[in-house]
Chain A
Amino acid sequence: MGLVMPNPGTIFWMLIIFGIVLFVLRKFAWKPILNALSEREESIATALNSAEAARKEVEGLKADNEKVIAEARREKDIILKEAREIKDKIVAEAKDKANLEGQKSIEQARQQIQAEKTAAISEIKKQVAELSVLIAEKVIKKELSNLGEQEKMVNGLIDDIKLN
């Protein structure tokens, strides 16, 4: 029976000892240990959260960057297109202008040529007329050196007129 009967003296001391142990450990051991544990858990949780937030932020930045790049690309395309258009326009305009200039100078040249030609022709006409007159004078002078001939010619002329 000795083993299974609790000894009052042992119970007495054990109550005191365990009470003190419980009190002392609660105050001086468990409190700092559990506090440190929960603090560390909190700090780990915050660290993880902030890492997650940073990751999201970076992702956002990336998306923004992509948007900016796409925008820039689009703008570049637009600018290039515009530039091409402008170039085409300028080239076309230049071509037109050149054509016009060319036409103009050709026209001018033609007019000049025409004028020169007209002048030359009238000069030639004048010369021809003078020469003709001269020739005619000479011919007439030679022809009309005899009377028969003169008459013949006058008749001829009259015939011509009649025919007309």
Chain B
Amino acid sequence: MLKLSKAIFLVSAITIIGFVPLSAQQSHEEEQGHETSSHLEKGFDAGKFVIEHVSDSYEWHIVTFGEKHISIPLPVILYSKSPELHEGKSFYVFMSSKFHHGHSAYKGFQISHSKEFEGKIVELDSQGHEIGKPIDISITKSITGVLVSVVILFWLLFSVAGAAKRNKGKAPSGLQNLLEPVILFIRDEIAIPTIGKKKSEKFIPFLLTVFFFILINNLMGLIPIPPFGANVTGNVAITMVLALFTFAITTLNGNKYYWKEIYNPDVPWWLKFPIPLMPIVELTGVITKPFVLMIRLFANMLAGHMIVTVFVSLIFIFASLFGTGVGLAASPISIAFSVFIILLDVLVSFIQAYVFTLLSALYFGMATAEHH
């Protein structure tokens, strides 16, 4: 029975290769659960499966055949404040394969299985108890995904830049034709109307970079074959950095009208004195604007990935609840829904990249507006 369900599992996994890495991870987890008998023998933990798909990890899992895990090891970079636990050295760089997919500890470090530090690298004391996290700047799956996207981004834009130089004063050609309308859209429909023709020149490179960075990462996240498919823009740290850039540029470019509107807005005096009610509200707004940018992109992309994974896991939920046949019967519906959601996510990828860029441009426009 288990064998048969694994067979279906493989067929489905090949059908939607995207979920191979994490489906495989799931089966591996299942093995583990079996070992520690904390799971039912045929139990399928959909929640865990989904969360693992969208979470960051120290290795890039590709596929599992039976007991054999195939994954790309990624560099782990650690700095420990207590070197006495790690053979006297405090700075460590090694590949994540040393952890053997989380099964073993390495030089006093281990991928935690405890509730508090789930999935993170922790330091172990001499008795093997977790004592806390070291400073961890590992190149994780998300960062690798970003790097892959950056390579694509550079290739794409440098070839367009090359074409632009080559075709100076001539009609555009090739990729240039594809990207120029998008670039023009961002310049003429987003930047210039919100910031103004003259002032927008300074911000257009950032807006373009942010748009293409988010778009490429969103779309690469939807391609389910490694080295794509990492949940990059659904990682809150990534969107946080993007929002921080918008926040920093807004703050650095704020003119005197912008600051006056924050500290001394045109409202009745009793709203400013003795309790500076409006300044507090305005200052909160300064923080919430980038915060909302961060959450919107993160939540949208995370939700997209999660829904697709949930639809795929439906097959296994049905299989484990009602037997293999039902799981098999449910798979076409699940796959159809997954395809639909992925197509929807393609649309969402464009919309979210657009919205992030548009809102950033609006904030820049507010910060540099001359008067009200």
Contacts and interface: CB of A to CB of B under 8 A. Distances in A.
Interface stretch (A29-37, A80-88, A118-126, A133-141): A29-37
A38 to B, nearest CB: 9
A25 B208 contact: yes
A89 interface: no
B168 A5 contact: no
A9 B180 CA distance: 35
Contacts of A12: 137
Interface stretch (A14-22, A56-64, A69-77, A155-163): A14-22
A97 interface: no
A7 B160 contact: no
B183 interface: yes
B187 interface: yes
Contact of A25 (B56, B77, B157): B157
Interface string B228-270: 0000000111101110110000000000000000000000000
Contacts of B161: 28-29, 32-33
A12 B244 CA distance: 12
Interface in A96-116: none
A4 interface: yes
Interface in B300-336: 302
A14 B238 contact: yes
A48 interface: no
Given A11-B241, A14-B241, A21 B235 contact: no
Contact of B157 (A6, A15, A29): A29
Nearest to B212: A25
A22 B82 CA distance: 37
A43 interface: yes
Of A4, A10, A35, A40, the most chain B CB neighbours within 10 A belong to A10
Contacts of A10: 56, 140, 142-143, 235, 237-238
A13 B208 CA distance: 21
Contacts of A21: 150, 153-154, 209, 213
Contacts of A36: 164-165, 167-168
A3 B157 contact: no
A14 B143 contact: yes
B95 interface: no
A63 B206 CA distance: 54
Of A8, A21, A33, the most chain B CB neighbours within 10 A belong to A33
B224 to A, nearest CB: 20
A24 interface: yes
Chain B interface SS verdict (over half): helix
Contacts of A37: 164, 180, 183-184, 187
B240 A6 contact: yes
A52 interface: no
A39 B245 contact: no
A3 B237 CA distance: 9
A39 B168 CA distance: 8
A12 B135 CA distance: 11
B164 A17 contact: no
Nearest to B183: A33
A33 B137 contact: no
Nearest to B231: A3
A32 B209 contact: no
Given A18-B213, A29-B158, A7 B146 contact: no
Contact of B51 (A3, A13, A28, A32): A3
B55 interface: yes
Contacts of A9: 77, 135-138, 140
A52 B242 CA distance: 47
Nearest to A44: B169
Contacts of B157: 25, 29-30, 33
B204 interface: yes
A14 B237 CA distance: 8
Contact of A7 (B54, B205, B212, B237): B237
Interface in B17-70: 51, 54-56
Nearest to B140: A10
Contacts of A25: 153-154, 157, 205, 208-209, 212
Nearest to B184: A37
Contacts of B235: 7, 10
A152 to B, nearest CB: 149
A95 interface: no
A39 B237 contact: no
A26 interface: yes
Of A24, A28, A36, the most chain B CB neighbours within 10 A belong to A36
17 contacts: A2-B51, A2-B118, A2-B119, A5-B236, A7-B140, A7-B235, A9-B136, A11-B240, A13-B137, A17-B147, A18-B213, A25-B212, A26-B206, A37-B183, A37-B184, A37-B187, A40-B169
| A-B pairs, 4 with minimum CB distance | A36-B164, A10-B237, A6-B237, A29-B157
Given A2-B118, A26-B206, A37-B180, 4 more contacts: A8-B135, A10-B238, A21-B213, A33-B160
